[in-house]
A and B are shown apart, each in its own frame.
Chain A
């Protein structure tokens, strides 16, 4: 179990791995996540399941801190120390017929399985994906395969249309396009603005939250999110919530709790791997 079967670098900092995990693969639904520890002393981190089948799950992650750096160091044939799931509630897609899926950056890795599940149930999917620049684009082909319409945005205009994901979304809504739901997954600030874009139209909007977690089973309360004035735990009640009810500003502030520590861990790991690399060479 937990063996990495395939590893692929999607862009300079985003990696896709396929991990042998028959128990999780048999149960996983779009929107659910796993918690893993790459190595014995590693941190527990949540990663959304990007795909499942044939006794394996796919994980797509961006290298941002110590834990994802250790994970990125593992190659094909290596084993992930601990892997538990599938956790959280699946994204509520039942009965949806026409949906806009709005993904940003590495969040697209999580948006894709939702778009695919919608496509498989016969829904018409309009995908809007955004990246900082051309080099960072991931999963473009896969999105096109499951989407009736596909909009690609980059901040610098180096590919697709220049601007953020709210631009085409606002245009479609203003033109009177009807959606049963808008599902958004990406950076918190992006999801906040997607929610503001759809709010005047009263379109049901769902955001997938990815807060700090430890156990992933509701025990620590570290992933709490205020939704409609109520405290919700993303790990057991979510990770998807009504985007019009989420207190994004509070969540954005909470996400910075360990920012200083993460920066330090990143530097420590960079140095460590540099030393390891030198030894190897």
Chain B
């Protein structure tokens, strides 16, 4: 039996809190080969069941073990449009690695790290491919985040001529405005997008579908089907007194300033609030990203979460990294009031919670005890998820929306409007990169079926 799971080297916490460079350093070839050999090649392939885009995991692990790195990348890329991204940001412990048989008697195979290795190898050993012009039937993809990119990649593979419309000035959606550089370096996102351009996908930025152009007009322009991957929309706030004071920023705003607008750079044109003590409210990946960015900008940071550590929805590695970086966690606290002075943040008054019976999500529901705690801060960042964007709803007649404003679509992404498909956070509410990619890919297959029968 081969040895235990290989750890990946990382930037030292005391060093990395002073920069925005990538934390994890990746495997070298020898480590990757050795780790890939840990795969037991079980017949049932439970790891694949855990993958929302169905990557042929044992096949690519086998190729890495044989040192056929480029071939391993090809296998992943067949079903996953963004291997270098997923290897870095997927919650593997709840997906592929969570199902790995090796995990039952020790540590699972480091599938995520190996996916990243194969993708990084490919990027390092091949030139950025040339942009190609596609000549197939035209499909419009709205939104260039994980759902849109995955849908575009799958459609391009099936011979369609795809145009991706993006509202911001840069393609990538949450991969560029949300996830920080130290977790997902932006050159990697650019390269993944270049790979799609090489497959013939066209990107049009600075275009808000629903404003600059409507869905109906897209059909008029000759697109035969439309995929809506508009993502999560409006940030949710805490709905407590004081939250419009100076110093309260949604995680979306804080992260967009830092990641998309590079506000952390010395000579940046876009400002970001330089706080002494930041409180981040929430326990998901976005909360961890905001907390770790604030730390790198020099703040003392506390994460406030209303349940316990066990229920934290964030990826395990992010929580671990946050702790290593000196970020404090206060569990079983719910925000009650933002304490202010002259409209500036001075602290957060919290209610102590205890856990009651499980709620609809299966997690134990936090119940206020009545006791309060007051924490000092000059900046508060709620990271509480988002509700869908109303722009499409207002301008797309016939599109049906759910009770929370989410686009109503079936499991293939089909909406009530002919030729219009949807997927990702716009349909499910805040979820993960890989679930959005799964939905984008499923919709691409459904669009293919629809257009072949049209």
Contacts and interface: CB of A to CB of B under 8 A. Distances in A.
Interface string A244-276: 000101100110111001100100000000000
A261 B271 contact: yes
Contact of B234 (A41, A221, A256, A257): A221
A93 interface: no
Given A214-B261, A222-B250, A254-B244, 4 more contacts: A41-B262, A236-B234, A253-B343, A256-B246
B252 A220 contact: yes
A28 to B, nearest CB: 10
Given A44-B169, A82-B205, A218 B211 contact: no
Given A84-B212, A221-B234, A44 B261 contact: yes
Interface string B245-269: 1110110110011001110000011
A27 B389 contact: no
A217 interface: yes
A53 interface: no
Interface in A28-84: 37, 41-44, 66-67, 70, 81-84
Contact of A217 (B260, B386, B389): B389
Given A217-B391, A233-B234, A257 B270 contact: no
A239 B39 CA distance: 57
B233 interface: yes
Chain B interface, DSSP helix/strand/loop, else mixed = loop
B261 A43 contact: yes
Interface of A: 23-24, 27, 37, 41-44, 66-67, 70, 81-87, 214-222, 224, 226, 231, 233, 236, 247, 249-250, 253-254, 256-258, 261-262, 265
A262 B272 CA distance: 11
8 tightest Cβ-Cβ pairs between the two chains A and B: A253-B343, A261-B271, A220-B253, A221-B250, A82-B169, A84-B206, A258-B271, A221-B235
Nearest to A258: B271
9 contacts: A23-B213, A24-B212, A70-B269, A84-B169, A215-B177, A216-B208, A236-B390, A254-B343, A265-B271
A111 to B, nearest CB: 23
B198 interface: no
A254 B234 CA distance: 19
A241 B264 CA distance: 34
Interface in B323-369: 342-343
Nearest to A247: B244
A70 B389 CA distance: 31
Contacts of A83: 206
A66 B269 contact: yes
Contacts of A84: 167, 169, 206-208, 212
Given A82-B169, A253-B343, A220 B244 contact: no
A219 B246 contact: no
A217 B169 contact: no
A36 to B, nearest CB: 9
B239 to A, nearest CB: 8
A168 B237 CA distance: 41
A247 B242 CA distance: 13
